[in-house]
Amino acid sequence: MSMAENVQPPLPSGELPLAGVKVVEFGQFIAGPGATQILADMGADVIKIESPNGDNGRRFGVSPATQGRSGLFMAYNRGKRSIVVDMRRPEGLAIARELALQADVVVQNARAGVMQALGLDAKALRAVKPALIYVSVSGFGTGGPSRERPGLDIAAQAESGMMSITGERGGTPLKAGFPVADVSTANATANAILAALFRQARTGRGETIETSLLAVAIAMQAQIWAEYQCTGQQPPRFGNAQPLVAPAADLIVVQDGHIVISAYLDDHWRRLCKAIGQPELATAAPFASNNERVRNRAALMEILGKALGGYTGEQARALLEQHGVVVGVVRSYAQVLASADVQASQVFQTVDDGQGGEVRLPGLPFSFAEAPGERPVPAVPRLGQHTGEVLAQAGYSAGDIARLQADGIVGHEAPVAGVAGVVAAA
């Protein structure tokens, strides 16, 4: 085959990699919905099956300050289609089962035993459709004594060891400033689904995938676990600094806030010393090697604080960058939005908030050069907004849909006040 014959034709304008893939989600909060959000951003048709009360994430953090919106729900559900099904009713359960069997992927993060009791577990569905990819996300896994415990991000941060190493030296354990276990589980789950879709496309075989917040939270700490295996000693809480290298992730106060620097490699250390006008410091006895700098970190940081504290963050960044030193300005959210680098990355996208307004939210942190076409603004689905549409595409007649809605077996959006809606199912 010639090189010319091996060239692939370009994708149609705007066609994303997962176009044509159908995903059914039975999800709550972040880990499950976050995984399917990634798939939706890559072009998958994600159908979110909700109870008449909806995903609990719809109510998380809602207040007058948020204008009646849930930041959590907007962040992890844009571009999906919402259908309300009362699975307490046999006919509703049959609808959910039919939709699941029409999908390529099913994702659920329900409490332990719920999906099995409904006959919507991996064994039941894959017995009918072996090509199905079925994904379960739990708090602590399904094989241990904690399999029935409710699992939220904070519990995983605590029980994975993560909180034990996070915090100031001599202080109490701290959680991360965002739900890192939930979000990382969403990303790990999406990776597993993509691998299974690749095999499914090549062989037609499905897969049963399980993951947990606990497993992902532990896996994220791989480097620290490796160091623990080498030393046999509990890693200490060390604040912003890294305990084994210096200067590394160390925080320095400047005129308008803080910067962090990393210059623990010998050549980087020499560059830092030159940048602050003290090249002789690179070979001075207390700081000549990394181990010496770790032992004498307090004295080291006092010197660096005096040398850089008179600058603004941007001035310090410019100075250190000129000398090839890794530096970061600690920015507020408003400053992040204003950053030229962030704007150039186009990571933020406009999203319809489902209530007649728009918000700017982070999207995929990567781009597809062969799918650059204009795409519609993704919308946060209102509860039951797509019930009729999804059922019609699944083969239900207009009469059947009307009857199901009238009987309260499925819910549909009943518009009020222009764009807001309620669900008809009881």
Query: What CATH number is attached to the domain comprising 415?
Result: 3.40.50.10540
In which band, very low, low, confident or very high, does the pLDDT at 373 lie, cut at 50, 70 and 90? low
Cis, bond preceding 247 (omega within 30 deg of 0) = yes
Pairing of strands 248-254, 257-262: antiparallel
- 120 and 268 assigned to the same domain: no
Nearest Cα residue to 38 out of 55, 25, 57, 52? 25
Q: Domain boundary at 308, 330, 352, which? A: 330
CA 392 to chain centre: 32
Structural domain for 140, as ranges:
8-220+361-423
Task: Show the tokens assigned to 207.
Answer: 């897969």
Q: Tokens 């519990």 sit at which residue?
A: 155
Nearest Cα residue to 379 out of 362, 356, 346? 356
User: Would you say residue 341 lies in a domain?
Assistant: no
pLDDT at 31 exceeding the cut of 50: yes
Work out the number of other CB atoms within 10 angstroms of the CB of residue 267: 10
Q: What is the pLDDT of residue 3?
A: 35
- 323 and 404 assigned to the same domain: no
Q: What is the pLDDT of residue 426?
A: 32
- 150 and 192 assigned to the same domain: yes
pLDDT at 24 exceeding the cut of 90: yes
- Note the pLDDT tens digit of each residue in 215-274: 999 999 999 999 999 999 999 999 999 999 999 999 999 999 999 999 999 999 999 999
- Note the pLDDT tens digit of each residue in 275-333: 999 999 999 999 999 999 999 999 999 999 999 999 999 999 999 999 999 999 999 99
In which band, very low, low, confident or very high, does the pLDDT at 14 lie, cut at 50, 70 and 90? low
On the 0-12 / 13-18 / 19+ scale of CB atoms within 10 A, 136 is: buried
- 324 and 367 assigned to the same domain: no
Q: Domain boundary at 279, 308, 330, which? A: 330
Given 41, 45, 104, 182, which residue is catalytic? 182
Mean pLDDT score, 40-51: 97
- 311 and 382 assigned to the same domain: no
CA 55 to chain centre: 17
DSSP string, 200-230: HHHH---EEEEEEHHHHHHHTTHHHHHHHHH
Q: What is the pLDDT of residue 160?
A: 98
Nearest Cα residue to 234 out of 262, 216, 243? 243
**pTM, 2 dp:** 0.91
Nearest Cα residue to 383 out of 107, 183, 154, 83? 83
- 49 and 183 assigned to the same domain: yes
pLDDT at 132 exceeding the cut of 80: yes
Cα 324 to Cα 344: distance, rounded to the nearest angstrom: 22
User: Would you say residue 233 lies in a domain?
Assistant: no
Query: Residues near 330 by Cβ (< 8 Å), separated by ≥ 6?
Result: 251, 257, 258, 259, 260, 313
Instruction: Report the largest interatomic distance among the alpha carbons of the chain, rounded to a whole angstrom.
Output: 86
Q: Domain boundary at 330, 350, 374, which? A: 330
- 325 and 197 assigned to the same domain: no
Contact call for residues 320 and 327 (beta carbons, < 8 A):
yes
How far lies 274's CA from each of 268, 283, 320, in Å? 10, 12, 10
- 92 and 180 assigned to the same domain: yes
User: Would you say residue 76 lies in a domain?
Assistant: yes
Mean pLDDT score, 78-95: 98
- 386 and 280 assigned to the same domain: no
Please say if 267 is a catalytic residue.
no
Q: Could you give the 3-state DSSP secondary structure of residue 281?
A: helix
Nearest Cα residue to 70 out of 381, 414, 400? 381
DSSP string, 356-375: S-EEEEE--SS--TT--S--
At position 406, the amino acid (one-letter code) is A
Per-residue DSSP letter, 379: B
pLDDT at 1 exceeding the cut of 60: no
Query: Rg of the chain over CA atoms, in angstroms?
Result: 26
Mean pLDDT score, 345-364: 95
pLDDT at 186 exceeding the cut of 60: yes
DSSP string, 87-140: TTSHHHHHHHHHHHHT-SEEEE-PPTTHHHHHT-SHHHHHHH-TT-EEEEEESS
Number of domains observed in the structure of the chain: 2
Q: How many residues are recorded in the chain?
A: 426
